[in-house]
Structure 1
Amino acid sequence: MPIFWLILIVLAIAATGFVIGRKRALQSVGGDGRRLHSLPGYYGYNVVLKAIVPAFLLMIVWLLVQPLVVNNSVSGMIPEEAAQTAGSQSLVMSEIRRLSSGLDAVTGMGLLSEEAARDPGADPEAISQTLRDAGQIVTSEVTTPILNAAQRFRGLNATGNLAMSALVILVALAGALLAIRETNPEFRARNTVEQGVKALLIGAASIAVLTTIGIVLSLVFNTVEFFRLYPATDFFFGTEWAPSFSGRGGSSQLGIIALLWGTFYISIVALAVAVPIGLFAAVYLSEYASPRVRSFAKPMLEVLAGIPTIVYGLFALLTVGPLLMSVFGREGFGWMQSGTAVMTAGLVMGIMLIPFVSSLSDDIINAVPQAMRDGSYGPGATKSETIKQVVLPAALPGIVGAVLLAASRAIGETMIVVLGAGAAARLSLNPFEAMTTVTAKIVSQLTGDADFASPEALVAFALGMTLFVITLGLNVFALYIVRKYREQYD
């Protein structure tokens, strides 16, 4: 049963239970709700919680555990020679999952009967041809052991989904019946519901932490798997980026140095544009601008933050690039060979980052107490001296945070780089040459022709893990600077 329909069935059980629970509570006191411990609606909500929460928890746990059980069961069917030929058992499992999905697709289209898809003696070549005719991806020769493993994979998943659907519905019904049975005038439904809602709120608040942990673990596990297939020294110290989607990565050069250089170079250019303009704009809006000008200029600046990055990328490709070419290209200084270059992406990215710096810095500067300004004006300091010696030092921790946010945004930008900076991975100091970044290569590697478990695809996780560590280091360093300054200022 599809997950969508299963969720609808559980919700229907909960809605029916709400009506029955509320009605039963009123019937137990002859329709006089004043004799109930709680309002009638609480008895209905008690049924809803006890029907939905256990059922959904069971479904979530089942969906997390079932793939592990199925993969462990199927991996024992993989011949050793197949794993050695592919280079890794995970590559074979990826092929099995892809073949299983293809069988589901062709049986759903009616191109293959369910009996033929389950037949262990089916002809692998005929199955492969049927999958190709249906537009399914078949990246290697399908053998009988691999086909049998994919058939078992389908069967175990189908059985598991059926068992999950039945158990989830039974748990929802049991929870609803239990809540209806305990409905009576003395039952403290309000207390039970409020405690249940509190537990749900705590769980919702924990999602952010758990999501972060999940992201980190996903990066770590896939990065470890990548380094089992590709040498770590070649990745961290290699200066050439030349992935090859043939031969399972045997001829690929996956050095990260050139990508890191492009990432930092473009980010530095962007920050060189965004930080001065954004900070000066914040100082003007907070200290010099009249309320009328501020009410107009601040929203106009913040509009820049709402423009999609693909629009900035098109702006870089169609406007900024040709403009720079007319000045620094063959018709001008001759420094620029094409419109895609570090300077193109850096300038447009800097424009995009201006509201991140100006808006946050403006809020921080406005938060500086007016008494500090008055204390500076009293001895005769001018407005500019007050801003330079009192306001900006007091707001510096927040300004550092704004710059750090802009730096993180610049490091993680993708579309502007793809359209404005090109795709060349090179080590160069010339800002008018095309370069690329780590994020752009993450996208290209995961949307290429390689298997998801191949080095060319897994390298995306290693790149993401490297960016994560670098960003974390920047955060720690910025926090150290802010705390050190605060100690001196206090």
Structure 2
Amino acid sequence: MSTSLILIILLIVGAGAYGLAASRAVRMSGGKLSALHSRPGYYGAYAAIWAILPAALVLAVWLVASPMIVERTVRGGFPDDVKSMPVAEQNLAYGMINAIARGLPMLSAEDTAALSSGSVDVRAKLAEKGVPLAGDVQPYMLEAARTLNAETGNSRLAMTAAVALLALGGAAIALRSVAPRFRARNRVERVILWALVAASSIAILTTVGIVLSMLTEAAHFFREIPPLEFFFGTVWDPRFAGAGSTSAGQFGLIPLLAGTLYIGFVAMLVAVPVGLFAAIYMAEYASPKVRSLAKPLLEVLAGIPTIVYGFFALITVGPFLRDLSMQVNGLLTGNYVNFIQAQSVLTAGIVMGIMLIPYVSSLSDDIITAVPKALRDGSLGLGATRSETIKKVVLPAALPGIVGALLMTASRAIGETMIVVLAAGVAARMQINPFEPMTTVTVKIVAQLTGDLEFTSPQTLVAFALGITLFAITLCLNIYALYIVRKYREQYE
């Protein structure tokens, strides 16, 4: 029985348990629901939880553990010469056995008998059924495939029986517990509380898992490359020298970090004034009709994929700046040579700043509108103009939140990849000219993890060192933003 069908059966059993428990509670109350400790729905929910939750947990564990047990059983039946092979070759053989096992149910009884007698080529017959095999089929593979199918079928049958018995048993136990003074609501709310705790723990555990995985691989990198050479190196040249050379390449972080911060700084120079002024207008000057139209249109920018911004920079903004610099240079010097390259820090910064405008404007707008109206009325009542009220009252009150929003926006800019790939180039260099190409940490992470990979060389492992460095930078920015908001936030009655 398929997993989807088992889940449907679980839901049906749970719904039946819900209805039976709720109706039993109503009958026990004698038509007077006030005699019950909880509402009938809580009794039904308690029965449904007992019918579904234990069985679903067993189903999840079984689905994870059963394939590993079956695989161990099948591998245990390999011939001794196969068991002595390297692990990679054994994995390849097991992959072929899996493919054969998937194809065997498609064959007729005559085809199966022919395969058993050896009169038909297994590979050709399975290819006719749309199951191509990468290599020749050895005699033991056919028997192992049959064993795999048999063990999988037995495991699924046992799983179905266990899940069904648990669901029915749980429903029966819950129905027996139904009584007028039974605290069904407390039990249900406790289960919901634990479910909420589990859901909130997923984000924390995911973050911990990401950090640990990156730290593990980064530690492998730092065993081969000294941390001081990585964090303070000024040359990025990850290519190894030829065979027989002791050179291990150069993995200096400084050029990449300089490009990341430089492009992020230019992007913030574009995004902060435009986004902040847009937020002030929408919060303080725009009519409700204009605000209801302008804010959604502005936030549409946040929903555009970053690759689209990259294309915009590559085919529009970059060529425009290049041609404009050529015309300006021609008018000033008579030499029509462009001094702004199509791929440059300026191009990437402008386009990234356009992408960040809705983040700045939306967050700042929400913060400004949260300032109590009484402060505005008091300032206006004392004779201040609207602009003076905004400058002297509203913005100072909202400043901590705005600063926190800007720092969070900066962390978003530092982690951008696609715009930089297409608009700033891949040249790892240290320079202050915004009209020349530079690159960022994220671009080099993509470059080092592109192609056929073996996570054993420093060229690949350096991506994890770059990733953990970028993670630390953005984490520090977010923590500092939260610190500023909490330290300087004023509480208004």
- Which of 386, 395, 400 does residue 398 from structure 2 map onto? 395
CA offset digits 1:129-164 (Å, max 9, x no partner): x9xx989999xxxxxxxxxxxxx9999999988877
8 Å contact from structure 1 (residues 237, 255) kept in 2: no
- Residue equivalent to 1:240: 236
**Larger Cα-atom Rg:** 2
Alpha carbons of 1:80 and 1:356: their partners in 2 closer, same or farther (altered >3 Å)? farther
Contact 1:241 1:254 in 2 (8 A): yes
Residue 417 of structure 2 corresponds to which residue in structure 1? 414
Bigger mean CA deviation after superposition, 58-67 or 174-183: 58-67
2:211 partner SS:
helix
Q: Which one of the candidate residues 166, 172, 178 is aligned to 1:177?
A: 172
Q: What do residues 434-465 of structure 1 show as CA deviations (whole Å, max 9, x unaligned)?
A: 33333334344445310367655544433322
Greater CA drift, 61-70 or 192-201 = 61-70
How has the CA–CA distance of structure 1 residues 49 and 96 changed in structure 2, closer, same or farther, with 3 Å as cutoff?
A: farther
Deviation at 1:50, TM superposition (A): 1.3
Question: TM-score, length-normalised on structure 2?
Answer: 0.71
Q: Counterparts of 2:90 and 2:364 in 1: how far apart (Å)? A: 53
Tell me if the contact between 1:100 and 1:154 (Cα under 8 Å) persists in the aligned partners.
no
Aligned residue in 1 for 2:79: none
Correspondence for 2:365: 362
Superposed displacement of residue 470, structure 1: 0.7
8 Å CA contact 1:446–1:452 kept in 2: the answer is no
- Report the counterpart of residue 283 of structure 1 in structure 2: 280
What residue ranges of structure 1 are gaps of 5+ in the alignment? 84-91, 116-125, 139-151
- CA displacement 1:153-212 (0-9 Å, x = unmatched): 999999988877765555444323322343455544344333323332333333333333
- Write the distance in 2 (CA, Å) between the matches of 1:161 and 1:326: 67
Instruction: Say if 1:22 and 1:379 are closer, same or farther in 2 by CA, change over 3 A.
Output: closer
Alignment-derived partner of residue 115 in structure 2: none
Q: Which residue of 2 aligns with 1:197?
A: 192
> Corresponding residue for 2:338?
334
Instruction: Select 1:351's aligned residue among 336, 349, 354.
Output: 354
Instruction: Quote the Cα distance in structure 1 between the aligned partners of 2:262 and 2:350.
Output: 12
Higher alpha-carbon deviation: 251-260 or 458-467: 251-260
Residue 407 of structure 1 deviates from its aligned partner by 0.7
CA distance in structure 2 between the aligned counterparts of 1:408 and 1:135, rounded to whole angstroms: 48
Q: Which residue of 2 aligns with 1:11?
A: 11
State the distance in 2 between where 1:382 and 1:3 align. 68
| Residues 90-489 of structure 1 mapped to structure 2, 5 A cutoff | 100=94, 103-105=97-99, 107-108=101-102, 168-184=163-179, 187-228=182-223, 230-233=224-227, 234-238=229-233, 239-242=235-238, 253=249, 255=251, 257=253, 258-328=255-325, 333-337=337-341, 339-377=342-380, 381-451=384-454, 456-481=459-484
- Residue 6 (structure 1) shift: 4.9
1:273-295 Cα shifts (integer Å, max 9, x gaps): 00111112222333334444434
Identity of aligned residues (%): 54
CA distance in 2 between counterparts of 1:329 and 1:160 reads 73
Shift of 1:38: 4.8
Total equivalences in the alignment? 457
TM-score (norm 1): 0.72
Q: What is aligned with 2:43?
A: 43
Question: CA deviation digits over 1:210-264, x for unaligned, max 9?
Answer: 3333333333334334445x424254344315368x99xx987572613323222
SS at structure 2 position matched to 1:416? helix
How far apart are residue 431 of structure 1 and its match? 2.7
Q: Distance between the aligned counterparts of 1:236 and 1:45, measured in 2? A: 57
Which amino acid is 2:321 matched to? L
Cα distance change, pair 8–252 in 1 and its aligned pair in 2 (3 A): farther
Instruction: Give the Å deviation of 1:267.
Output: 1.1
Name stretches of at least 5 consecutive residues in structure 2 with no aligned partner: 75-81, 113-122, 136-146, 331-335
**Residues 431/388 of structure 1: CA separation in 2 closer, same or farther (3 Å cut):** same
Alpha carbons of structure 1 residues 336 and 103: separation in structure 2 relative to 1, 3 Å? farther
Do the aligned partners of residues 136 and 439 (structure 1) sit closer, same or farther apart at CA in structure 2, a change above 3 Å counting?
Answer: farther
Counterpart in the other structure of 1:86: none
Summarize the Cα distance change of 1:221–1:185 in structure 2 as closer, same or farther, 3 Å threshold: same
Name the SS for the 2:280 alignment partner: helix
Q: Give the Cα–Cα distance (whole angstroms) in 1 for the partners of residues 131 and 238 of structure 2.
A: 32
